[in-house]
């Protein structure tokens, strides 16, 4: 969004309220994306906060080579990967299960929708981390292939191939779980 890039520039020029708008816009999606990398919602929220603190304190320059959202998610991804490196040096970790409930009024539909979400999230957690990331960016955050390539530091061709393999891996995992799915 060019609008968010403009907001960030205004923040850099001294308008602190613009950072609050940016945080309000991205905190939820960024937390969920980071959870797809870290498999721990508490750590994901911590990294999300650190990402915004980095924007507030270090004020990195946004060069406009990608969308603001792509740039922000790339910063957050790098911080999450650093956390994974740190984590691998220390003791084993536990995985938090955090699923959001839909706001449907029909209890039966709500239950079925929640059950599908649980199965989908369970299947995605069983996937290779990069597969889970690429599926999340594509289908939950609506990034295009070029933006995903920038975030994950891969070529568009690699992302296309990985997306194909990730969808097949997810389909296989869902079938193993006995899940009846719609075409991906």
Give the range among 6-15, 60-69, 93-102, 140-149 with minimum mean pLDDT: 93-102
Per-residue pLDDT of 12-21, as tens digits, reads 999 999 999 9
**How far apart (Å, rounded) are the C-alpha atoms in residues 148 and 169?**
19
Q: What is the pLDDT of residue 98?
A: 34
Q: Would you place residue 109 in the very low, low, confident or very high pLDDT band (cuts 50, 70, 90)? A: low
Q: What is the pLDDT of residue 110?
A: 60
Is the pTM higher than 0.85? no
Spell 133-162 as b/e; 16+ CB within 10 A means b: bbbbbbeebebebebbbbbbebeeebbeeb
Is 23 in contact with 67 (CB distance < 8 Å)?
A: no
**Does 167 have pLDDT greater than 80?**
yes
Round the average pLDDT of the chain to a whole number and report it: 83
Rg over alpha carbons for the chain, rounded to the nearest Å, is: 18
Domains observed in the chain: 1-98 (1.10.1740.10), 102-178 (1.10.10.10)
User: What phi and psi values does residue 46 have, to the nearest 5 degrees?
Assistant: -65, -45
């Amino acid at each position: 969004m060019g609008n968010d890039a403009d907001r960030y520039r205004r923040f850099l020029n001294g308008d602190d309220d613009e950072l609050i708008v940016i945080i309000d816009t991205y905190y939820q999606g960024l937390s969920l994306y980071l959870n797809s990398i870290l498999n721990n919602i508490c750590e994901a929220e911590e990294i999300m906060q650190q990402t915004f603190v980095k924007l507030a304190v270090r004020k990195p320059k946004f060069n406009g080579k990608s969308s603001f959202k792509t740039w922000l998610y790339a910063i957050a991804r790098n911080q999450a990967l650093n956390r994974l490196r740190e984590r691998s040096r220390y003791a084993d970790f536990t995985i938090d299960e955090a699923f959001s409930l839909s706001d449907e009024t029909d209890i039966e539909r709500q239950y079925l929708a929640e059950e599908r979400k649980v199965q989908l999230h369970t299947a995605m957690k069983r996937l290779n981390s990069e597969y889970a990331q690429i599926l999340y960016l594509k289908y939950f955050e609506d990034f295009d292939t070029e933006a995903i390539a920038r975030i994950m530091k891969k070529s568009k061709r690699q992302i296309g191939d990985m997306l194909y393999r990730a969808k097949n891996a997810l389909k296989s995992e869902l079938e193993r779980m006995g899940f009846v799915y719609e075409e991906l």
